[in-house]
């Protein structure tokens, strides 16, 4: 009898999960009250999906192509977007793919103080687009000179036909790059330039459920659910752990020593990946010097803090925080770009855009400091 009850309970749980996954909307109460602590610090006439702030307070942004092609990497000066490092890099040239941006998806100031830019090498995730040879690259730009000083081009077999190199984090001589297009993690040795793949199609890498924002399921232009696997990642301040997740979660982690040695068999690496906790549909993350992970909840317009012990608290919730994407931690503040990506045709089944321009960047004063693995 007990076994039958357990089987029945499992069937009910599965049916309930399937019913939730089939829903196009979820019951969500969006915030109405604005939080007076939020400071609007910049605006943009283009949708952005990430920002970073240099040591001398220069502001840079990556611009998505979801509302049309154009400028991809910019310095934000008095609410004006200036092509960075120059116009040429922001104009695609198929004859010289290694020296022109194809599809910038992420950026950050590295521990060295330089600006590092992730060119995904692909136009979309799960859209049928293919990775472009020479287009997928991690580009290092010296801020003092404004010159590109290094470019790591990711090639086959690390680069798969459907690869979309999404975001990057640093840990000593290594860079970790998420690839939700081919669903796995790319490890790049910054000294040798060699790269390899791990965690390909691992149960903690793939997406297990739809993405919801403001209570609505995200839909591709062709009517299919938008699914995004291994996407966000953060390195613990001591460099021991890599935390990562698909957009809808759950949060997982693995010791970096298993990632950094290409001689370790992929099956052995995969065995050490462990689930940390269930999470939520997340636009972007950041981590502070204490190891607290800040993860946006795009379904409730809030930012939640995940402590090293797994405890979750809400940092801020505000009606203006519409799809907060890749965030940034500076000394004493959390920076939050509102990208409104859930209002673009790429996530609404091709319906007309409802993005409210200009998009905004907010800053919240907090007693925090950046992780030394990110920047000093």
Number of folded domains in the chain? 1
Is 356 domain-assigned? yes
Contact partners, residue 66, CB within 8 Å, separation at least 6: 47, 341, 344, 345, 346, 347
Which of 375, 158, 361, 173 lies closest to 256 in space, CA to CA? 173
Is 9 domain-assigned? no
Residue 294 contacts residue 374 (beta carbons within 8 Å): no
- At 138, which CATH number? 2.120.10.30
Is 6 domain-assigned? no
Is 7 domain-assigned? no
Which ranges of the chain would DSSP assign to H, the alpha helix? 2-22, 266-271
Is 376 domain-assigned? no
Is 4 domain-assigned? no
Our measurement of the distance from residue 116's CA atom to the centroid of its chain's CA atoms, rounded to an integer in Å, reads: 14
Tokens 């922001």, residue located: 90
Residue 333 contacts residue 363 (beta carbons within 8 Å): yes
Which of 49, 45, 53, 96 lies closest to 75 in space, CA to CA? 53
Task: Note the pTM of the prediction, 2 decimals.
Answer: 0.93
Q: Which two tokens stand for residue 79?
A: 């609410």
Is 16 domain-assigned? no
Query: What distance in Å separates the CA atoms of residue 29 and residue 124, rounded to the nearest whole number?
Result: 30
Q: DSSP assignment, residue 89? A: G
Residue 122's domain spans which residues?
Answer: 26-365
Is 82 domain-assigned? yes
Per-residue pLDDT for the chain (376 aa), expressed as one digit of tens each?
434 434 433 443 443 344 444 589 988 989 999 999 999 999 999 999 999 999 999 999 999 877 767 899 999 999 999 999 999 999 999 999 999 999 999 999 999 999 999 999 999 999 899 999 999 999 999 999 999 999 999 999 999 999 999 999 999 999 999 999 999 999 999 999 999 999 999 999 999 999 999 999 999 999 999 999 999 999 999 999 999 999 999 999 999 999 999 999 999 999 999 999 999 999 999 999 999 999 999 999 999 999 999 999 999 999 999 999 999 999 999 999 999 999 999 999 999 999 999 999 999 999 999 999 876 5
């Amino acid at each position: 009898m007990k076994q039958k009850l357990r089987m029945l309970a499992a069937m009910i749980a599965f049916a309930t999960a399937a019913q939730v996954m089939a829903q196009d909307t979820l019951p969500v109460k969006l915030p109405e009250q604005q939080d007076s602590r939020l400071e609007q610090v910049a605006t943009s006439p283009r949708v952005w999906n990430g920002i970073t702030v240099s040591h001398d307070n220069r502001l840079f942004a990556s611009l998505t192509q979801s509302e049309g092609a154009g400028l991809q990497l910019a310095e934000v000066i008095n609410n004006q977007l200036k092509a960075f490092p120059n116009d040429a890099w922001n104009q695609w040239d198929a004859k010289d793919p290694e020296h022109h941006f194809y599809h910038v998806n992420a950026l950050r100031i590295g521990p060295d103080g330089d600006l590092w830019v992730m060119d995904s090498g692909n136009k979309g995730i799960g859209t049928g687009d293919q990775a472009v040879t020479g287009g997928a690259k991690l580009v290092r730009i010296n801020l003092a000179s404004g010159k590109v000083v290094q470019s790591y081009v990711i090639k086959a077999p690390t680069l798969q036909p459907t690869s979309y190199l999404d975001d990057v984090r640093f840990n000593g001589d290594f860079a970790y790059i998420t690839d939700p297009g081919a669903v796995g993690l790319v490890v790049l040795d910054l000294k040798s330039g060699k790269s390899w793949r791990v965690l390909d199609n691992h149960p903690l890498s793939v997406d297990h459920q739809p993405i919801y924002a403001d209570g609505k399921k995200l839909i591709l232009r062709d009517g299919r659910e938008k699914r995004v696997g291994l996407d966000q990642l953060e390195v613990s301040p001591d460099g021991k752990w890599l935390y990562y997740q698909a957009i809808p979660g759950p949060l997982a982690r693995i010791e970096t020593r298993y990632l950094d040695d290409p001689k370790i068999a992929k099956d052995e690496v995969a065995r050490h990946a462990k689930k940390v906790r269930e999470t939520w549909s997340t636009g972007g993350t950041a981590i502070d010097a204490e190891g607290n992970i800040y993860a946006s909840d795009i379904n409730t317009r809030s930012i939640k803090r995940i402590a090293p012990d797994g405890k979750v608290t809400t940092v801020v919730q505000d009606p203006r925080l519409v799809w907060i994407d890749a965030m940034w931690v500076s000394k004493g503040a959390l920076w939050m770009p509102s990208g409104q990506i859930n209002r673009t045709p790429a996530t609404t089944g091709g319906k007309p855009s409802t993005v409210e321009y200009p998009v905004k960047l907010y800053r919240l004063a907090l007693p925090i400091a950046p992780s030394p693995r990110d920047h000093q």
